[in-house]
């Protein structure tokens, strides 16, 4: 799920993420990934959230990479940490 200090601002291209703790800005560069990010709390893991958003398995790699980046930058945190 999103870190509680992260705000999401919808944009025509996707969304801006801002982390008030780390002061870092990130860009979600399409609307599909915005949908996945917002739906993360309803899914056990990223893969199933992506599938629910209609992302086929052969398109999954760039999304998994993107989520890896968001985890590294603490934009996303595991639910049990909350």
Q: Enumerate binding residues for other proteins (CB under 8 A).
A: 7, 9, 11-14, 16, 18, 20-21, 23, 25-30, 32-33, 59, 62-63, 65-66, 69-70
Q: Which is nearer to other proteins, 23 or 80 (CB)?
A: 23
Residue 11 CB neighbour total at 10 angstroms: 13
CA atoms within 13 A on the CB side of 52: 16
Q: Which is nearer to other proteins, 11 or 42 (CB)?
A: 11
Rounded to the nearest whole angstrom, what is the least distance from the CB of residue 56 to other proteins in the complex? Answer: 12
């Amino acid at each position: 799920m999103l870190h509680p200090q992260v705000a999401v601002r919808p944009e025509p291209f996707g969304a801006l993420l801002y982390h008030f703790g780390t002061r870092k800005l990130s860009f979600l560069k399409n609307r599909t990934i915005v949908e996945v990010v917002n739906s993360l709390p309803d899914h056990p893991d990223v893969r199933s959230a992506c599938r629910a958003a209609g992302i086929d398995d052969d398109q999954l790699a760039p999304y998994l990479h993107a989520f890896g980046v968001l985890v590294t930058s603490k934009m996303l945190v595991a639910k049990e940490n909350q």
